[in-house]
Structure 1
Amino acid sequence: MNTSPMPDTRLDERYSDEEAAAVPWSTAVAELTAAELYWLTTVRPDARPHVTPLIGVWADGALHFCTGSYERKAENLRGNPNVALTTGSNSLHGGLDLVVEGEAVRVTDAGRLRALAAAWEAKYGAEWHFDVGDGVFVNPGTGEAVVFAVAPRTVFGFGKAPYSQTRWRFA
């Protein structure tokens, strides 16, 4: 379930230590898969940014998240599906920070939603159990949630030991 197309990988030497090398895409995928928390940036109708933390899963070459259809981020996505999702560590001298840029696309296929619901529960535990309704996740305690997939167009990786900036571009 964690397949991913191979991107064009480039180290930006302007922002990298001399001994730095491009980070392999497989390392970025491992970090995206393991991350517990992501920050989603959307754009409000008046062009102001909206940033919020959320949980998600990396599956089928995309980062997936869910939200109530009435929430600010869902409203923003109806007007502009372009997003940035970030994750990483708060340390200055270690780790890899990632910025995923792409378009958030609704996931409504029941089979795919069931697989994603299972992935959510496997990653986050029974607290994050979802049933699948008509094109949505259903949680008895919180109601319905729409699910989005963000297949990356561009991903930036910021290494901090040594300092590096890797860019992965997808066709």
Structure 2
Amino acid sequence: MSAPAPDRPDFPEGYGLPESTDGLLSWSAVEPKLVAAKHYWLASVRPDGRPHSVPRWGVWVDGRFYYDGAPTTRHTRNTEANPHVTLTLESGTDVVIVEGTSTATRAAPETLGARLAEAFVKYHGDDYAPAADAWSGEDGGGLRQIVPERALAWTSFPTDCTRFRF
């Protein structure tokens, strides 16, 4: 997967975004934050249009976010009806916001499943250590993937505020 294209986001006048592209962040500076994070916030939309946010564990692998859980959870039921989601990291000053779609998927244990199991090592201390075959069954073990469409990131607002388009 090639790196997404960076540019300036569209913000209302008065926010002080630079007009030039000087100071834009690189995807190579942002993506490691998605890989390293332990806690993420997932926002979805209920069928009646009300928002729903929930903290999630998950992993950023191969340019996508993978997480799992029961199909009966509110966020899974929401994304089955409307796959559009927002994924954010915890910080309000070192910001990463990913917009994309969440869909059910599966992972073969000898390929993607092995890479996911290795990435989930960051949760072993919390007694969560899925094996490479955890997501290979008919129901995918509740595995979902978020395919990014765009992302926003900044560490020094508004100077380095950057939008990435995938």
- Give the shorter-chain TM-score range: 0.7 to 0.9
Q: Tell me the TM-score normalised to structure 2 length.
A: 0.81
Q: Which residue of 1 aligns with 2:123?
A: 124
- Cα offset, 1:66, TM superposition: 1.4
Which amino acid counterpart does residue 148 of structure 2 have in structure 1? P
**What SS class does the counterpart of residue 43 from structure 2 fall into?**
strand
- 8 Å CA contact 2:23, 2:159 repeated in 1: no
Match of 1:65 in 2: 67
The two structures have a TM-score, normalised by structure 1, of 0.79
Q: CA deviation at 1:150?
A: 1.1
Show structure 2 runs of 5+ residues with no match.
none
Distance, in Å, in 2 between the alignment partners of 1:16 and 1:134 is: 48
CA contact (8 A) 2:61 2:115 kept: no
**RMSD over equivalenced CA pairs, Å:** 2.4
Q: How does 1:1-171 map to 2 (within 5 A)?
A: 4-12=1-9, 15-16=16-17, 21-90=23-92, 92=93, 96-111=94-109, 112-120=112-120, 122-125=121-124, 127-131=127-131, 132=134, 134-135=137-138, 145-160=141-156, 163-170=159-166
Structure number having the greater strand percentage: 1
How many residue pairs match? The answer is: 155
Write out per-residue CA displacement over residues 89-124 of structure 1, whole angstroms, 9 at most, x where no aligned residue. Answer: 24x5xxx2111001112221323234313321x222
C-alpha separation in 1, matches of 2:128 and 2:6: 34
Deviation at residue 81 of structure 1 after TM alignment: 0.7
Unmatched segments (≥5 aa) in structure 1: 138-144
| Residue identity opposite 2:116 in structure 1 | L
Post-superposition offset of 1:37: 0.7
What is the SS of the residue equivalent to 1:22?
coil
23 and 88 in structure 1: CA distance in 2 versus 1, 3 angstrom threshold: farther
Identity of aligned residues (%): 30
Which whole-Å CA distance do the structure 2 matches of 1:154 and 1:34 have between them? 19
Is the contact between residue 41 and residue 90 of structure 2 (CA under 8 Å) also seen in structure 1? no
